[in-house]
Amino acid sequence: MLGFLVWLFLLFLCWPLALLALVLYPVFWLLLLPFRLIGIGVEAVFELLRAIVMLPARVLGR
């Protein structure tokens, strides 16, 4: 919602820049998509390592 309000404010101040931002947003989203996927993969690997390290404590704790 905040992003939409900022875009409306930009539209009020400088409409060509707001329209350019509206057109370029999907392009930047597509360019950043591989980095998000890599981030998800790295986070999953760290969660797996954490689960492996914490497994003995979980087994002994019960």
CA dihedral 30, 35, 38, 43 (to 10 degrees): -120
- Both structure tokens of 11: 């539209």
Mean pLDDT for the chain overall: 92
Residues 27-43: what's their mean pLDDT? Answer: 96
- The predicted model scores a pTM of 0.60
Block residue for tokens 């492996």: 52
Instruction: Tell me which residue of 27, 16, 28, 21 sits closest to 6, measured CA to CA.
Output: 21
Task: Render pLDDT for 7-34 as a digit per residue (tens, 0 to 9).
Answer: 888 888 888 988 998 899 999 999 999 9
Q: How many domains does the chain have?
A: 1
Range of the domain at 17: 2-61
User: How far apart are the C-alpha atoms of 20 and 14, rounded to whole Å?
Assistant: 10
pLDDT of residue 61: 82
